[in-house]
Structure 1
Amino acid sequence: MNFLIYGAGALGQALGCMLACQGHTVDLILRPRFKDTLEKSGLTVTGYFGEFATKGSQLGLYTSLDETANSYNYALITTKAYDTASAAASIAALEQRVEYVVSMQNGCGNIELVEQFFGTEKTLGARVITGFEITGPGKVTITVSADDIHVGAPLADAISPAAASLAKTITEAGHPCRAVEDINRSLFAKLLYNCTLNPLGALLGVHYGLLGKNRETVAVMNRIIDETFAVITGLGGSTDWADSDQYKEVFYSELLPVTASHRPSMLQDMENHKPTEVDALIGYVSRQGQLLDIATPTCDTLAAMVKFKQAQYLQ
């Protein structure tokens, strides 16, 4: 198969390396500093799923879509959520050279943007709950994985053949992946997890595990869970849990311990003075709460605090 990976940071580079090792054609759209490094050193992925390595010559390395000439079975968008619209617009310029476009990003609202450019039939979404970190020149470490990648079509109907084919290919490349009927259900589950941990961990500057060991932070996380669950229900969405209390049981006993040592991606963005994905995570809950007339005071406060801190360093 032919793959385009647009916005190849840690996630995109890792998947690109794994797919290329399996014999697929992979073109990466990445930043110039990454291109220069990968041309010289190639790509190595280590950690949770084993070791994978590919030479720079085995990958298509580009800083712009204008440089590419291939047609693609799948274009995977792995940018930050705030770049979804610009990424989709760029890929749309390829017209018939792309069969399916897949949002593999954090947060909610990304699939809807991709649909605006490509329509429902060509759009897929994916939920990734694996930790990827660039640990050196041409080196990506997979630090943790809480579950398989989920991939599916925007409409909850039946498993899309395109999603099933992509899931099989990614699994064979080394990262467990499965096709699901309702990708929004999976994305809402991740939204619960991310909103509970990411902003609070970023503002306090700690890894996830510490948040679960303190009575005060547990109380804040419980309020986030209650508010996020209420918004998901208000949107007509569903998750694997009947109510927020049932989610809390699973969250504290299973989900949090698995990723206790993980540092929030939002914290890493803050440390590097980069924009955060606040608007696709807790900011999304706050916005939807206002539209649905559902009170989300804790999410509103945390979103405002993250935006304040972000504005300070971006100035």
Structure 2
Amino acid sequence: MRVCVVGCGAVGSLFAANLATLDDVEVWAYDLSEPHVAAIAAHGLRLVGSGEVTGHPNATSDPAAIPPCDFGIVATKAMHAASAIAATAHVFSEGGAVATVMNGVGNEETLAEHVERVIRGTTFPAGKVLEPGVVQWDVKGETTFGPFEPRPLELEAIEPLADACTRSGMPASAVADARPPQWRKVIFNAATNPIGALTGLTHGRVCERPDLRALVSGLVDEGTSVSTAQGIVLDADPEELIDHAARPDVAYGHRASMLQDVEARRMTEIDYLNGGIARFGRELGVPTPLHDAVTALIKGVEASWQ
């Protein structure tokens, strides 16, 4: 099996490094960061923290160098997905199937504009790039893959990717309906990431404050209403997951990806998280005033950098 990981920031690197430890999987890591690619080519891709792994994927910034692949895992920021898949679509033109593990909603539709076979994916592991070729693995978790409904693949076509991820140390499952875990994560992220980004607080410290925890619950309620309006039954209660993650032995000190983006003055994924929930809400007639407000606040922070 040959797998191409498109975008080797923190999450993409977790997949690329782990999959590259398997003897029966050839991994290609595509990223635009030349220092990151050079470090991986020279020394391998090293994970530290919750998992100590060094994998040796083929790393490149040249999409023309990537051979045809059986599977793709797109792990860029959501706003970069269109350009990333446009550059690499030829890699999957011979029947390859491409999964998204990006934050937010609407990513499958972006991939489907460029490739025929799309897999709906959601992943919970998280981390951050420490230096070129080295990634800190902050949070472990499971990944779910399933059909993308407009052009659904058979589960048998998805299971080899889930099996490879699991054997590599990234537990994954192939399911008939991948929307419940996807919306569970979207609701989780949209309720916590922007609050951390606006306050500078880690996940655990946000949850310690009753005022902020109440705001988080309000965002969860709105997101759950939007998912319910689509006929989606969540596979777990986001409130319980938020409190679980706040434990010292789980993700108390984790700085959400949106906080990392704000600190680095990078554009955030707000349009695909809170903005995405609000967009679905408008289409379904479900009010989302808190998500609208949070979206406006984060966009205001981004505007302040200009």
TM-score by length of 2: 0.91
Partner Cα distance (1:94, 1:164) in 2 = 20
Moved more, 304-313 or 90-99: 90-99
Partner Cα distance (1:43, 1:209) in 2 = 29
Equivalent residue for 1:83?
Answer: 80
Equivalent residue for 1:151?
Answer: 145
CA RMSD between the two structures: 2.0
> Is the Cα–Cα contact under 8 Å of residues 46 and 52 in structure 1 kept in the other structure?
yes
Partner Cα distance (2:238, 2:85) in 1 = 33
Equivalent residue for 1:254?
Answer: 244
For 1:69-148, what aligned pairs fall within 5 Å after superposition? 70-94=67-91, 96-97=93-94, 99-119=96-116, 122-145=117-140, 147-148=141-142
From 19, 31, 34, give the equivalent of 1:32.
Answer: 34
Taking structure 1 as reference, are residues 64 and 302 closer, same or farther at Cα in structure 2, changes over 3 Å only?
same
Partner Cα distance (2:40, 2:61) in 1 = 12
Partner Cα distance (1:144, 1:181) in 2 = 26
- Which segments of structure 1 move beyond 4 Å, counting only runs of 4 or more? 156-159
For 1:43-82, what aligned pairs fall within 5 Å after superposition? 43-49=45-51, 51-54=52-55, 58-68=56-66, 70-82=67-79
- Structure 1 position 96, deviation (Å): 2.7
> Is the Cα–Cα contact under 8 Å of residues 46 and 53 in structure 2 kept in the other structure?
yes
1:211 and 2:206 correspond: yes
Partner Cα distance (1:105, 1:256) in 2 = 22
Partner Cα distance (2:238, 2:202) in 1 = 21
Partner Cα distance (1:173, 1:116) in 2 = 30
- What residue identity is the alignment partner of 2:246? L
Equivalent residue for 2:273?
Answer: 281
For 1:148-297, what aligned pairs fall within 5 Å after superposition? 148-155=142-149, 160-240=155-235, 247-248=238-239, 250-251=240-241, 253-257=243-247, 258-297=250-289
Equivalent residue for 1:7?
Answer: 7
- What residue identity is the alignment partner of 1:59? P
Structure 1 stretches lacking a partner, 5+ long? none
Secondary structure at 2:104's aligned position in 1? coil
Per-residue CA deviation, residues 10-33 of structure 1 (Å, 9 max, x unaligned), is 222222121122122111111112
Number of equivalenced pairs = 301
Partner Cα distance (1:204, 1:264) in 2 = 11
- Structure 1 position 81, deviation (Å): 0.5
> Is the Cα–Cα contact under 8 Å of residues 275 and 310 in structure 1 kept in the other structure?
yes
- Structure 1 position 310, deviation (Å): 1.1
Partner Cα distance (2:20, 2:28) in 1 = 9
> Is the Cα–Cα contact under 8 Å of residues 19 and 170 in structure 1 kept in the other structure?
yes
Structure 2 stretches lacking a partner, 5+ long? none
> Is the Cα–Cα contact under 8 Å of residues 8 and 29 in structure 1 kept in the other structure?
yes
Taking structure 1 as reference, are residues 213 and 6 closer, same or farther at Cα in structure 2, changes over 3 Å only?
same
Partner Cα distance (1:137, 1:292) in 2 = 43
Taking structure 1 as reference, are residues 138 and 91 closer, same or farther at Cα in structure 2, changes over 3 Å only?
closer
- Structure 1 position 9, deviation (Å): 1.2
Q: Decide which structure has greater helix share.
A: 1
Partner Cα distance (2:242, 2:127) in 1 = 23
Partner Cα distance (2:8, 2:243) in 1 = 33
